[in-house]
């Protein structure tokens, strides 16, 4: 077998007549298949129905009814006929599909008839999937199974199984590693590894890293080739028809002629009033309302979406898969003109874990899921189809390992930054060191407040503002808040994890690192408690040992 025959049979093995990203359904349902079987084997439709109700598989029915009259078919014949069936459309197409299917069944052996019926119905179950086929290709065209992993790597980039098989049959192992991204043929998405603890982030990606907002929607790879725009899902399906609004936005606002962008589609509305800096991210369920065949336009208006781009894979004829992430991000920024529907994933670049924590807390405030941490290293290429250590994911639920509440006293306040400038930012909170009789900072709380809470806290604090750090408070200069207050107001906070931190002073003794509470969330003001009633350093140390953090 060679060339085109290899290509076509690779598709057929996977029960299709083309690559996953092309629309290959034949438009044949049970009704058409039933009629074709009846006509091919000259039995009544009733007879076919009866047998179908006992076997539950029209392929088996064809096998039973076939009298073995047909000679063997060639791959070329089968493939050609199936393509013809697919392309028949319009008036009278149902009858034509019946006729075409019937004619090929007449010429098929019983076994062939069985599989042809299953393929046209999209129900081929050979009991093996892509992986098995890749192994078979390795054995057939390199003489050894050991190349399967390498073939799989190529398959992540060349997702057209037919093209891959054909190329292997012609060039053997020389075909490997030669594939690149091509317009109209999506590569498999790069995925992120999960880390088990916040510290692991630093271990996996030491030093400077990018931290991006993580959107919970639908992964999308957009291919623009002049006026032709296509959108592919993570499973490589063509989802262009579902998002006419995004297609239009790409046509209008992306100037590059040939470009491939990677991002996440999310149900989203930008704050509409001038003074409104809010962004509204909606649930995944809401986005799924857009997954429909009919009334697409109407639903596009009811459920507006935006795509948040975080990568660029191809630009004007050149693959960017081997370019490092910082370079790709720079090119992405150059080529995406932001609009309401086309956005860039929000991010910071930092080597400071506390900043990452702050950024994470802010993403939760926006009702996002978490963060993706990305390596800035020069070898951080786009690893198509891989769960890569160049990308780490950290979600709220990972931080929920420990959930305890703490009573803390407020010693300072930070203003909001950026868009939230001047407004309520975060509170610097402390616990009591009984031995030293002072308050030592333990965490910075920036989430969980309603607008009313924020106002109430502001008014309570207003009476206690001071110009210098009070004598009974220990704050590191790097944590200096915008406003200092006497330790008076007590709040209850939910926290996830106690860790060592160079920024906080709680229990630091002679050393330089104190204890800190990670992922704090404001619960309520404790009017009933005074500063002497807050948690003590001793209690926190016991708790830390008790839970073995
Ligand atoms: N800024 C971003 N960078 C990379 N991926 C992002 C980003 N924002 C959202 N994502 C999405 O987050 C997904 C990973 O998160 P999550 O663990 O929630 O998804 P999953 O489907 O459960 O796992 P995975 O996709 O890693 O198999 C990515 O596949 C991608 O679709």
Other CB atoms within a 10 A radius of the CB of residue 7 amount to 22
* pLDDT given for residue 544 in this prediction: 72
What is the C-alpha to C-alpha distance for residues 211 and 362, in angstroms, rounded to an integer? 12
Phi, psi of 510 (to 5 degrees): -85, -20
Burial label, 8 (beta-carbon count in 10 A; 0-12, 13-18, 19+): buried
Is 99 annotated as a binding-site member? no
* pLDDT given for residue 421 in this prediction: 56
192 CA distance to ligand 1 centroid (A)?
A: 7
Of the candidate ranges 117-131, 337-351, 467-481, the one whose mean pLDDT is the lowest = 117-131
3-class state of residue 47 by DSSP: helix
Confidence of residue 542 (pLDDT cuts 50, 70, 90): confident
Of all protein residues, the one whose alpha carbon is nearest to atom 2 of ligand 1 is 214
Confidence of residue 395 (pLDDT cuts 50, 70, 90): confident
Question: Is there a contact between 186 and 237 (Cβ–Cβ < 8 Å)?
Answer: no
* pLDDT given for residue 116 in this prediction: 94
Is pTM beyond 0.90 here?
Answer: no
Question: Is there a contact between 164 and 176 (Cβ–Cβ < 8 Å)?
Answer: no
Question: Is there a contact between 383 and 322 (Cβ–Cβ < 8 Å)?
Answer: no
Question: 342: closest CA among 274, 270, 272?
Answer: 270
Long-range Cβ contacts of 131-138 (<8 Å, 24+ apart): 133/10, 133/13, 133/14, 133/161, 137/10, 137/164, 137/165, 137/168
Of the candidate ranges 9-23, 92-106, 345-359, 505-519, the one whose mean pLDDT is the lowest = 505-519
* pLDDT given for residue 321 in this prediction: 97
* pLDDT given for residue 374 in this prediction: 98
* pLDDT given for residue 46 in this prediction: 95
Of all protein residues, the one whose alpha carbon is nearest to atom 30 of ligand 1 is 219
Q: Model confidence over 59-68: pLDDT tens digits?
A: 999 999 998 7
Confidence of residue 273 (pLDDT cuts 50, 70, 90): very low
98-112, 115-129, 447-461, range with greatest mean pLDDT: 98-112
Q: Which one of 393, 396, 397, 398 would you pick to mutate in the ligand 1 pocket, going by the greatest count of ligand atoms within 8 A of its CB?
A: 393
2 CA distance to ligand 1 centroid (A)?
A: 39
Is 185 annotated as a binding-site member? no
Q: Residue 295, by phi and psi: left (phi above 0), alpha (psi -120 to 50) or beta?
A: left
310 lines ligand 1 (CB under 6 A): yes
Catalytic residue among 209, 214, 224, 374: 214
372 lines ligand 1 (CB under 6 A): yes
What is the C-alpha to C-alpha distance for residues 192 and 369, in angstroms, rounded to an integer? 14
Give the ligand 1 atom nearest the CA of 216: 9
297 CA distance to ligand 1 centroid (A)?
A: 27
Q: Model confidence over 198-212: pLDDT tens digits?
A: 889 999 999 999 999
Q: Model confidence over 237-271: pLDDT tens digits?
A: 899 999 999 999 999 999 999 999 999 999 887 76
Confidence of residue 549 (pLDDT cuts 50, 70, 90): very low
* pLDDT given for residue 327 in this prediction: 98
Interface pTM (ipTM) of the complex?
A: 0.95
171 contacts: CB under 8 Å, gap ≥ 6: 178
Both tokens of residue 191? Answer: 């995925």
Of all protein residues, the one whose alpha carbon is nearest to atom 28 of ligand 1 is 191
345 lines ligand 1 (CB under 6 A): yes
What are the residue ranges of helices labelled H in 205-340?
A: 244-253, 284-288, 296-302, 325-335
214 lines ligand 1 (CB under 6 A): yes
393 CA distance to ligand 1 centroid (A)?
A: 8
Q: Model confidence over 527-536: pLDDT tens digits?
A: 888 898 899 9
User: pLDDT at residue 126 above 70?
Assistant: no
Share of the chain above pLDDT 70, in %: 94
Q: H or E segment at 312?
A: strand 305-315
User: pLDDT at residue 400 above 80?
Assistant: no
Other CB atoms within a 10 A radius of the CB of residue 53 amount to 9
Q: H or E segment at 117?
A: helix 110-120
DSSP of 220-237:
EEEEEETTEEEEE-TT--
Positive or negative torsion for Cα 538, 543, 548, 549: negative
User: pLDDT at residue 286 above 80?
Assistant: no
214 annotated active-site: yes
Q: What is the β-pairing status of strands 404-415 and 424-433?
A: antiparallel
Question: Is there a contact between 414 and 479 (Cβ–Cβ < 8 Å)?
Answer: no
Question: 498: closest CA among 436, 428, 547, 430?
Answer: 547
215 lines ligand 1 (CB under 6 A): yes
Across the range 88-98, mean pLDDT stands at 92
Confidence of residue 418 (pLDDT cuts 50, 70, 90): low
Q: Which domains does the chain show, CATH number per domain?
A: 26-120 (1.10.3260.10), 191-398 (3.30.470.30), 402-546 (2.40.50.140)
Distance of CA 385 to the CA centre of its chain: 12
User: pLDDT at residue 308 above 50?
Assistant: yes
Question: Is there a contact between 188 and 262 (Cβ–Cβ < 8 Å)?
Answer: no
Q: What is the β-pairing status of strands 490-495 and 521-525?
A: antiparallel
């Amino acid at each position: 077998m060679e060339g085109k025959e290899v290509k076509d049979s690779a598709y057929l093995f996977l029960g299709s007549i083309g690559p996953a990203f092309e629309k290959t359904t034949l438009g044949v349902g049970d009704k058409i298949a039933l009629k074709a079987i009846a006509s091919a084997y000259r039995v009544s439709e009733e007879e076919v129905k009866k047998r179908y109700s006992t076997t539950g598989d029209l392929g088996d029915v064809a096998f039973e009814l076939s009298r073995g009259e047909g000679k063997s078919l060639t791959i070329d014949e089968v493939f050609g006929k199936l393509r013809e069936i697919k392309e028949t459309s319009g008036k009278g197409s149902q009858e034509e599909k019946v006729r075409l299917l019937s004619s090929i069944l007449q010429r098929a052996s019983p076994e062939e008839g069985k599989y042809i019926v299953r393929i046209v119905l999209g129900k081929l179950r050979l009991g093996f999937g892509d992986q098995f086929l890749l192994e078979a290709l390795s054995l057939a065209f390199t003489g050894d199974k050991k190349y399967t992993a390498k073939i799989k790597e190529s398959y992540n980039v060349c997702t057209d199984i037919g093209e891959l098989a054909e190329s292997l049959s012609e060039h053997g192992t020389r075909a490997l590693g030669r594939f690149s991204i091509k317009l109209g043929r999506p590569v498999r998405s790069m995925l992120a590894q999960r880390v088990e603890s916040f510290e692991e982030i630093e271990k996996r990606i030491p030093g400077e890293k990018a931290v991006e907002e993580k959107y919970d929607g639908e992964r999308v790879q957009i291919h623009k080739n002049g006026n032709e725009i296509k959108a592919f899902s993570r499973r490589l399906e063509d989802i262009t028809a579902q998002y006419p609004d995004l297609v239009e936005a790409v046509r209008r606002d992306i100037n590059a002629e040939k470009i491939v962008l990677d991002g996440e589609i999310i149900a989203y509305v930008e704050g509409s009033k001038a003074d409104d800096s809010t962004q509204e991210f909606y649930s995944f369920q809401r986005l799924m309302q857009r997954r429909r065949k009919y009334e697409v336009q109407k639903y596009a208006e009811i459920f507006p979406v935006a795509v948040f781009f975080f990568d660029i894979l191809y630009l004007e004829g050149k693959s960017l898969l081997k370019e490092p992430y910082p370079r790709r991000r720079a090119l992405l920024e150059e080529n995406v003109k932001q609009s309401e529907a086309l956005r860039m994933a929000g991010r910071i670049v930092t080597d400071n874990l506390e900043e990452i924590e702050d950024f994470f807390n802010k993403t939760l405030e926006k009702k996002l899921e978490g963060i993706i941490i990305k390596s800035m290293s020069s070898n951080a290429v786009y690893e198509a189809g891989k769960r890569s250590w160049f990308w780490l994911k950290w979600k709220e639920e990972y931080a929920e390992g420990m959930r305890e509440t703490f009573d803390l006293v407020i010693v300072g306040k930070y203003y909001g930054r950026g868009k939230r400038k001047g407004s309520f930012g975060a509170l610097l909170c402390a616990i009591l060191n009984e031995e030293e009789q002072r308050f030592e900072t333990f965490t910075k709380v920036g989430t969980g407040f309603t607008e009313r809470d924020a106002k109430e806290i502001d008014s309570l604090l207003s009476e206690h503002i001071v110009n210098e750090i009070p004598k009974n408070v220990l704050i590191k200069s790097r944590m200096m808040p915008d406003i200092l207050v006497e330790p008076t107001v007590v709040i209850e906070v939910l926290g996830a994890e106690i860790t060592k931190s160079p920024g906080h002073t709680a229990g630091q003794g002679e050393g330089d690192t104190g204890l800190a509470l990670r992922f704090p969330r404001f619960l309520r003001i404790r009017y009933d408690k005074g500063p002497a009633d807050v948690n003590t350093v001793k209690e926190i140390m016991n708790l830390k040992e008790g839970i073995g953090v």
